[in-house]
Amino acid sequence: MAVFRDVMPAFDLLQPDSVAEATRLLDQNGAGAWIMAGGLDSFDWLKDRIKKPQVLVDLSGIGELKGIRVSSDGVEIGAMTTLTEIADHPAIQKNYSVLSDAVSVVASPQIRNQGTLGGNVSQDTRCWYYRGGWPCYRAGGNICYADTPVGRNREHAIFGADRCVAVHPSDSAPALIALDAKFVIRSAKGERTVDAEDYFIGPDVDITRLNILGPGDLLTAIRIPAAWSGAKFYFEKIRDRNVWDFPLMNVASAMEVNGGSISRIRIAASAVAPRPMRLRNVEDAVTGKPANASTGEMAGNLAVQGAVPLQFNGYKIPLMRNLVKRAIAGAPEAA
């Protein structure tokens, strides 16, 4: 429990220079290995001595994992590409601006320079009981400290809780779900690709992880298909401090409007549930409807159906209703 903020626990530092070498090392060390990308989340855990891996596999020397490759099929972004590179990339700004918008409001410029896309989607939850080293469910204990009458749960989930009420904190995740991105995972057994929304898991399935990666798995790239290139995008993030902060909520959508009607749409929200949440009921309900205020109103109301607020996060319900409404109907112009 005691949190030491002095030196990190001892581990072997492994620095592979290829994906093949990295997967071999990960396979060899199994659950004892910790993958490090930009280190922003990793160092929190290590310096606080809450996670104590035997080996640290540092991905920073693997060139294959870096960079953005544009093709007629879409864009492939290496897992080690920094958030700044993505935010500044002209092809992404032009055709997939929902992603550049999302990553450009992540934390601060310094963090975006160092933080990677792979790390951003694979980062752990920010629940402070857990990060403070309290032995809650997610840390392997048998209680949730946040979901109690006096628990500090202002930032926590209104959907999808199952014993753990923590939320997924990523800004890039809902944008990637809206773009129907595919996550490429490599392990000693080979390569597999999963849909963005299936990369994330809730506590009902595994209370100790936020994603499907198991020991030996490495996220190598994220592929964005051309299918949504140039669509009408929306990304909005609400946070306590606009200088830099984790989202209290964000909503991302990709929409195609033909003759005033929504012909297809994908919409997702983060920081509302333990996994970034695709709003399928909203997508189904608004398809074929005009992209106007009344459809937005209906979509907002639909989005919050079934929400279960905790003691201190009831505000998330009107917040979500309004963000979803704005995603469909557009934000009113500032006076």
Binding to other proteins by CB under 8 A, coded x per residue (else -) over 122-141, reads ------------xx---xxx
Nearest residue to ligand FAD by CB is 119
Contacts of 280 (CB under 8 A, 6+ apart): none
Q: Which does 146 bind (CB under 5 to 8 A by kind): other proteins, ligand SF4, ligand HEM, none?
A: ligand SF4
- Shortest Cβ 229–ligand FAD spacing (Å): 23
Q: Residue 138 or residue 223: which is nearer to ligand SF4 going by CB?
A: 138
Distance CA 106, CA 267 (A): 19
Question: 57, 98, 127, 282: which one contacts ligand SF4 (CB under 6 A)?
Answer: 127
Contacts of 15 (CB under 8 A, 6+ apart): 58, 60, 61
Q: Residue 135 or residue 290: which is nearer to other proteins going by CB?
A: 135
Q: Which helix (H) or strand (E) holds 221?
A: strand 218-225
Contacts of 250 (CB under 8 A, 6+ apart): 102, 171, 174, 235, 236, 237, 238, 269, 270, 271, 323
Q: Which does 106 bind (CB under 5 to 8 A by kind): ligand SF4, other proteins, ligand FAD, none?
A: ligand FAD
| Exposed / middle / buried, residue 229 (Cβ in 10 Å: 0-12, 13-18, 19+) | middle
Q: Which does 306 bind (CB under 5 to 8 A by kind): other proteins, ligand HEM, ligand SF4, none?
A: none
Amino acid at 62: I
138 in contact with ligand SF4 (CB under 6 A) = yes
- Shortest Cβ 289–ligand HEM spacing (Å): 42
In 116-155, where does DSSP find H-type helix? 117-122, 128-131
Q: Which does 181 bind (CB under 5 to 8 A by kind): ligand HEM, ligand FAD, other proteins, none?
A: none
Q: Which does 33 bind (CB under 5 to 8 A by kind): other proteins, ligand FAD, ligand HEM, none?
A: none
Across the beta sheet with 55-58, the strand order is 12-14, 55-58, 33-36
Question: 27, 48, 88, 162: which one contacts other proteins (CB under 8 A)?
Answer: 162
Residues in the chain: 335
| Contact status, residue 261 vs residue 232, Cβ threshold 8 Å | no
Composition of the chain by helix, strand, coil, percent to 5: 35, 25, 45
Applying the rule CB under 6 A, the residues between 133 and 152 that interact with ligand HEM are 142
166 in contact with ligand SF4 (CB under 6 A) = yes
Q: Which does 27 bind (CB under 5 to 8 A by kind): ligand FAD, other proteins, ligand HEM, none?
A: none
165 in contact with ligand SF4 (CB under 6 A) = yes
| Contact status, residue 286 vs residue 263, Cβ threshold 8 Å | no
Q: Residue 20 or residue 308: which is nearer to ligand SF4 going by CB?
A: 308
Binding-residue total with other proteins (CB under 8 A)? 21
Q: Residue 74 or residue 247: which is nearer to ligand FAD going by CB?
A: 247
| Contact status, residue 190 vs residue 233, Cβ threshold 8 Å | no
Q: How far is CA 11 from CA 8, 25, 46, 104, 200, in A?
A: 9, 14, 10, 33, 28
Among 55, 40, 98, 72, residue whose Cα is nearest residue 255: 98
Footprint of ligand FAD (CB under 6 A): 34-42, 59, 79, 106-107, 111, 115-116, 118-120, 122-123, 169-172, 213, 218-219, 245-247
Q: Name the 3-class secondary structure at 235.
A: strand
Amino acid at 317: I
Q: Residue 99 or residue 329: which is nearer to ligand FAD going by CB?
A: 99
129 in contact with ligand SF4 (CB under 6 A) = yes
Interface residues with ligand HEM (CB under 6 A) are: 142, 163
Interface residues with other proteins (CB under 8 A) are: 1, 134-135, 139-145, 147-148, 161-163, 201-202, 204-206, 214
